[in-house]
Every structure is written in C-alpha cells, then in structure tokens.
C-alpha cells in the first residue's frame, strides 16, 4: 500500500466541551511553584512563557488573576544596555523575547516602563544588508525574526525606522514552489514560518504578493482525518498548528477552506480534564504554549466564550484597537 497517513485517533471519551475555568486555574497556578522541574528548565524562554500565559488569560477574561506589578518589574530587569530584552534575568537579549516583552506591556498598556527608543534602536540594528533580521548579535537569520522585528516596531508605532523594501524583498525571497515560506531562502515551507511571513506581509501591507489560492491549498491540506492540523506534509497533528495554520488562513482570507467542526473537536480533545490546559495532542502532557494556541485557535473558529483574537499579533483584538493597529487581511 505504501505510506500510511500519519495521524492520531481521538478516543470517544476525549473531552468535547470547552473547560475554560480549568484552563484559567491551570495558568494562574503555573509558575507559582518556582522549584518545578519543567518551569526551571524553560527559564531560557520565560518572557515568551509569560506572554503565552497572560494572553490566554486575557482571551478568557481572566487577566486580573495575574501578578501585573511583578511581571512589569521583571521585564524592566530584563532590558539590557543595548536596548534588547532577554527571556529572564541573567540571560542575553534576543528579538524573540523583545517582542514578547513588548506584547506583554501592550496588554498591560505600560509600554513606557522600558526605554522604547532603545528597543527601536536594537531592532533596527539587527537588520542585515539583504533586508533580513538576525535574532541577536550572533547573527542567526530566520524569517521568524523578520516577523518579530516588524511586529515589535508596529506595536511601538515605529515601523518607519527599518529599510522596508529590503525587508519585504528578503521575506519574498523565501517563498517556495508550493506558495509557502521557510526560515531562509531555499528553506522548506513550514506552517510556523508561513505564519511569520504572512503576518509580516500583513503588517507591511504587502499581502498582494502572496499566491493566496496556492498557499491556501497547501494550508488546508494540513488538516488530517482526525480533524487536527499538522505543520507540513506527513507530520503528526499538533494543537499549536491550530494557530499557525489557522491564523495564516485567516490572514490570506481562506479560513473557510478548513473543516471547522472537525478542527474544533480535535482542539477540544487536546484538553486535560484533570489538570486543565491543552497538550499538543490528545493524551499528552499540557503546557502554557499549547494552551494559548488551543484557545486562540478556538477564538479564530468563532467560539463566543473567548474574546476575538487578532490573527497577526496573537493578541486580543480589543488591545490592538486600543493601540490603533488594524493590519490588512486578504478577503
């Protein structure tokens, strides 16, 4: 027969209703046990972890349960002299965590607790000759960082400081035969990169450069018989792709090409009824990362118990409205 389709089978007893309260309890308690193994080992991404937790809580209308003052102080302690922000105290600055920090401060409407001009300088300084962005001074190039750069600057209202034409040119040079995008020119298409690149093109007003029909097809082919989405052909489904793929489809105006009911069942099946939270697939261990993307995915699918989420920034729409940011989407 040849290749079997890689997929999961959802057990009949898997959760099929949305357990929002359990998820809120899970996130509220996460990280309170500072000596937790997983928690400590993931310190290298702490800033992003906080962004995931806060965003999902805000989407569930539970932001007030988080410790705003402590988090703001933490962020202040993570800004380095160069302007960049690190994942945690004692770690080195990086674009990934600079974006996460700016997103958190946007949620809290407290952007001025850090030196904004220095953040802008830091981001600007990471743009290379060919328009690409390095993640930090050590020079790793990736379209993820192009997204981080423009998203950060857009939230700060400072998009004009970079060389836009070159930045766009670089991202477009990463477009592949299948309409998708990879890390660097020549890299294979991957849903995470596609999210970053379509998000980038939305922020920079260049979505007309995308072949929406072709890319939309590649993206809707991520849906497997279980209803879940994978990140590229012949991989297992994962709830975080409910975000990367779905948001990309929303940005290019093709979200109706997914079977929404089947995806919703898959996402709900990834919940853990005992602990709260979402795992990558049914039966696995939960974490805040998959919890955010499960909830955000459900929001994009139209669940009215969750606040509308912006597909480009993965932040509540009301926050972006307050800032005055409404990036273009294709119809």
Partner 1 sequence: MHGRVKVKSTAQQEEEKRKEREKKLKAFVSARDAVLRKRSAGEHDEEALQLTQQLLSSNPDFATLWNYRREVLLQLETSREKDEVQKLYESELHFIEACLKVNPKSYGCWHHRSWVNTRLPQPDWTRELGLCDRCLSLDERNFHCWDYRRVVVKESGVSVEQELQFTDRLIGSNFSNYSSWHYRSTLLPQLHPQPAPDSIHSHRVCEEQLLKEYELAHNAFFTDPNDQSAWFYYRWLLGRGVCVCSLCLSQAQSEGLMLVLDGQPQQVEWRSTHPRLRHSPVWLCDLPPGSVSDISNEHNLTVHWTEKYTHRDCALYTGCAESWCRDSATDQELFRSELSVEKSSVLQAELQSCNQLLELEPQNKWCLLTIILLMRALDPLGHEKETLAHFQTLKEVDPMRSSYYSDLCSKFLIENTILKMEYAEVRVFSLSNKNLTTLCHLDQLLLVTHINLSSNQLLRLPPQFAMLQCLEVLEADDNAIESLEGLYHLPKLEEVSLRNNRILFAIQSKCFIRNPFSAFRASAWFDLVSRSQYSSLINSYRLCRIMEGQQI
- The footprint of partner 1 (CB under 8 A) covers 1-3, 5, 35, 37, 40-42, 44-45, 86, 90-92, 94, 136, 138-140, 142, 176-178, 182-184, 186-190, 205, 208-209, 213, 216-218, 220-221, 223, 227, 232-235, 238, 254, 256-259, 262, 272, 279-280, 283-285, 287, 289-290, 331
Nearer to partner 1, 58 or 178 (CB): 178
Round to whole Å and give the CA distance between 224 and 235. Answer: 10
134 vs 320, beta carbon nearer partner 1? 134
Q: Is the Cβ of residue 110 or residue 206 nearer to partner 1 in the bound state?
A: 206
* Residue 199, both tokens: 């998000």
Tokens 């592949």 correspond to 176
Beta bridge partners of 287: 278
Q: How far is the CB of 112 from partner 1 (least distance, A)?
A: 27
For the bound state, the minimum distance from the C-beta of residue 256 to partner 1, rounded and expressed in Å, comes to 5
Nearest approach, Cβ of 263 to partner 1 (angstroms)? 9
- Cβ–Cβ < 8 Å for 218, 272: no
Shortest Å distance, C-beta 32 to partner 1: 16
For residue 108, the minimal CB distance to partner 1 (Å) is 25
How far is C-alpha 212 from the geometric centre of its chain's CA atoms? 21
Q: Is 48 exposed, middle or buried (0-12, 13-18, 19+ CB in 10 A)?
A: buried
Closer to partner 1 by Cβ: residue 280 or 303: 280
CA 164 to chain centre: 22
Spacing of C-alpha 86 from chain mean position: 18
C-beta of 250 vs 290, nearer to partner 1 = 290
Cα–Cα distance, 265 to 320 (Å, whole number): 29
Q: Which residues pair with 229 in a beta bridge?
A: 223
């Amino acid at each position: 027969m040849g290749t079997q389709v890689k997929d999961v089978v959802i057990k009949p007893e898997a959760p099929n209703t949305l357990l929002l309260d359990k998820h809120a309890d899970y996130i509220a308690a996460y990280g309170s046990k500072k000596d937790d193994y997983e928690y400590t080992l993931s310190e290298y991404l702490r800033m992003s972890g906080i962004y995931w937790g806060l965003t999902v809580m805000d989407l569930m209308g539970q932001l007030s349960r988080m410790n705003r003052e402590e988090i703001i102080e933490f962020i202040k302690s993570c800004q380095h002299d160069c302007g960049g922000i690190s994942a945690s105290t004692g770690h080195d600055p990086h674009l990934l965590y600079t974006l996460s920090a700016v997103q958190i401060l946007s949620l809290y409407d407290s952007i001025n607790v850090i030196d904004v001009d220095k953040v802008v300088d830091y981001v600007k300084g990471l743009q290379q000759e060919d328009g690409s962005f390095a993640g930090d001074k050590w020079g790793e190039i990736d379209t993820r960082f192009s997204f981080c750069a423009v998203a950060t600057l857009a939230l700060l209202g400072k998009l004009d400081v970079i060389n836009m034409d070159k930045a766009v040119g670089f991202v477009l040079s990463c477009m592949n035969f299948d309409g998708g995008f990879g890390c660097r020119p020549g890299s294979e298409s991957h849903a995470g990169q596609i999210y970053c690149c379509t998000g980038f093109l939305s922020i920079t007003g260049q979505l007309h450069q995308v072949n929406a029909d072709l890319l939309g097809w590649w993206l809707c082919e991520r849906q497997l018989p279980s209803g879940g989405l994978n990140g590229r052909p012949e991989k297992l489904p994962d709830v975080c792709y409910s975000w990367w793929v779905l948001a990309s489809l929303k940005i290019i105006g093709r979200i109706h090409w997914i079977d929404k009911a089947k995806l919703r069942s898959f996402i709900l099946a990834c919940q853990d009824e005992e602990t709260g939270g979402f795992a990558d697939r049914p039966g696995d261990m939960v974490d805040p990362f998959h919890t955010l993307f499960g909830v955000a995915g459900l929001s994009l699918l139209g669940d009215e118990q969750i606040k509308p989420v912006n597909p480009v920034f993965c932040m509540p729409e009301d926050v972006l409205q307050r800032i005055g940011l409404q990036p273009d989407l294709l119809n």
